């Protein structure tokens, strides 16, 4: 006759019905998986639980959004279309400059003028693996900049033209203050670039006006010196006057010759004939002198007209250049007064009321899954090696 086995009710390794208990089965399963499971899964997951669950410091993220508006450049879609309806567009160049500045060492230097960054990221209340310069070995500016690049980020959406800046710190106050300070510095940079652009535009136009004034002054002085040297005001007008005088003298000469011809034919002994001959000779001499002043000698009006015309053309051209430079200067001043790019704050720096990082549950689960994958891969490799040896 078979007797039932005796069961010790105090034993946790035996089930009420004689089978193995859950605790004993778990122990045997853990002992069966071996050291590899402990190294790949249990130990990393335990460390992850310790780090994410207890040690890791809370990280608060302050977020702000801004856009650079300019009345000159074309707008884009989305929010840019709304800005365009108001007469403005996204200043992408200034936006890129602001984005680059926030990611630069100059921004960090401005942020840490009073030691704000080092206090916010390196105080003793932060877990040693999260803080800046945890062991006090290297607190250089370059190391702070590397840390800064992990804590400050600026994303630019080309569709809307809006930039989003996120600053990570270990207290809500520090995150908000640093975000606000960086935003103010970015705004100051845009204003500085805008003022420099306007100043350069006006200075260039003023320099063009000064050069044009110098050319116009030189041309005017050259023309005046030529008039004084040649003794003429306007060779063309003076030549016209001389030609009119020559025409009148020629008319008188023709009349005197006709009268002489008539008297010679009718009364050859008329005493007026010698007088008419003297008058004709005088008219011929006067006409020759006047013609000599107009043309035919080095000092004639025709000889000076070519040089006068060249000087006159140079002066007119210099005057036109001066007028164009003055118009450009006025346009530059109007453009400088009208064109102004500036930062429009879409969302002010927020003050977080809850820590967004670290993602504790996800970190623990990620470590567990990665450990299981590593354990499975290594187990298969070891099994294959043992099978190959057998």
**pLDDT one-digit tens code per residue, 230-253:** 666 666 666 566 667 767 777 777
Report the residue count for the chain: 390
Whether the upstream peptide bond of residue 358 has omega within 30° of 0, thus cis, is yes
Q: What CA–CA distances, in Å, run from 70 to 157, 163, 168, 262, 334?
A: 17, 15, 30, 92, 15
Residue from 100, 279, 291, 319 nearest 189 by CA: 100
Q: Largest alpha-carbon pair distance within the chain?
A: 199
In terms of Cβ atoms closer than 10 Å to its own Cβ (0-12, 13-18, 19+), residue 155 is exposed
**In the structure encoding, which two tokens stand for residue 299, read together?**
């000092």
Q: pLDDT averaged over the chain?
A: 78
**In the structure encoding, which two tokens stand for residue 99, read together?**
């984005």
**In the structure encoding, which two tokens stand for residue 150, read together?**
């992990």
pLDDT tens for 57-112 read 889 999 999 988 776 544 444 444 444 444 444 456 778 888 889 999 999 999 99
CB 105: neighbour CB atoms within 10 A? Answer: 12
pLDDT at 270: 73
Residue from 103, 84, 109, 116 nearest 163 by CA: 103
Q: Give the count of alpha carbons within 13 A of 367, CB side only.
A: 19
pLDDT at 175: 94
pLDDT at 26: 52
Say how far apart CA 118 and CA 147 lie, in whole Å. Answer: 10
Q: Is the pTM of this model over 0.85?
A: no
Say how far apart CA 126 and CA 57 lie, in whole Å. Answer: 6
Buried b (16+ CB within 10 A) or exposed e, 39-64: ebbeebbeebeebbeeebbbbbbbbb
Say how far apart CA 307 and CA 305 lie, in whole Å. Answer: 6
Residue 212 has pLDDT above 70, yes or no: yes
Residue 211 has pLDDT above 60, yes or no: yes
Say how far apart CA 334 and CA 202 lie, in whole Å. Answer: 10
pLDDT at 373: 93
Segment 272-289 mean pLDDT: 76
Say how far apart CA 161 and CA 139 lie, in whole Å. Answer: 37
Element (H, E) at 315: helix 301-338
Residue from 101, 78, 103 nearest 157 by CA: 78
Percentage of the chain lying above the pLDDT 90 cut: 20
Q: Predicted confidence band at 142 (pLDDT cuts at 50, 70, 90)?
A: very high
Residue carrying the six token digits 């039932």: 4
DSSP per-residue codes, 175-207: HHHHHHHHHHHHHHHHHHHHHHHHHHHHHHHHH
């Amino acid at each position: 006759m078979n007797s039932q086995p005796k069961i010790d009710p105090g034993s946790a390794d035996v089930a009420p019905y004689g089978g193995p208990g859950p605790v004993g089965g778990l122990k045997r399963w853990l002992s069966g998986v071996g050291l590899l499971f402990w190294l790949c899964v249990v130990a990393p997951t335990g460390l992850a639980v310790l780090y994410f669950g207890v040690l890791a410091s809370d990280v608060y993220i302050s977020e702000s959004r801004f856009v650079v508006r300019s009345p000159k450049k074309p707008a884009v879609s989305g929010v840019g279309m709304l800005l365009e309806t108001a007469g403005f567009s996204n200043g992408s160049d200034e936006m890129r400059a602001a984005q680059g500045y926030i990611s630069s060492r100059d921004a960090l230097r401005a942020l840490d003028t009073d030691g704000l960054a080092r206090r916010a990221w390196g105080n003793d209340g932060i877990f040693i693996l999260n803080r800046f310069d945890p062991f006090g070995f290297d607190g250089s500016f370059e190391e702070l900049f590397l840390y800064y690049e992990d804590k400050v980020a600026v994303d630019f959406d080309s569709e809307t033209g809006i930039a989003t800046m996120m600053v990570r710190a270990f207290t809500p106050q520090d995150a908000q203050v640093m975000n606000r300070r960086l935003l103010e510095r970015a705004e100051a940079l845009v204003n500085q670039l805008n003022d420099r652009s306007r100043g350069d535009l006006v200075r260039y136009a003023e320099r063009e006006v000064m050069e044009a004034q110098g050319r116009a002054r030189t041309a005017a002085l050259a023309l005046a010196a030529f008039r004084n040297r040649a003794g003429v005001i306007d060779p063309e007008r003076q030549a016209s006057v001389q030609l009119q005088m020559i025409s009148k003298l020629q008319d008188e000469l023709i009349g005197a010759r006709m009268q002489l011809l008539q008297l010679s034919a009718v009364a050859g002994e008329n005493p007026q004939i010698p007088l008419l001959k003297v008058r004709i000779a005088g008219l011929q001499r006067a006409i020759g002198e006047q013609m000599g002043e107009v043309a035919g000698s080095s000092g004639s009006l025709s000889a000076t007209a070519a040089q006068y015309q060249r000087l006159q053309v140079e002066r007119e051209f210099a005057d036109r250049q001066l007028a164009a430079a003055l118009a450009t200067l006025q346009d530059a001043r109007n453009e400088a007064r009208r064109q102004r790019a500036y930062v429009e704050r879409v969302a002010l720096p927020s003050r977080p009321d809850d820590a967004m990082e670290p993602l504790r549950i996800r970190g623990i689960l990620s470590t567990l899954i990665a450990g299981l994958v590593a354990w499975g891969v290594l187990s298969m490799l070891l099994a294959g090696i043992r099978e190959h040896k057998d």
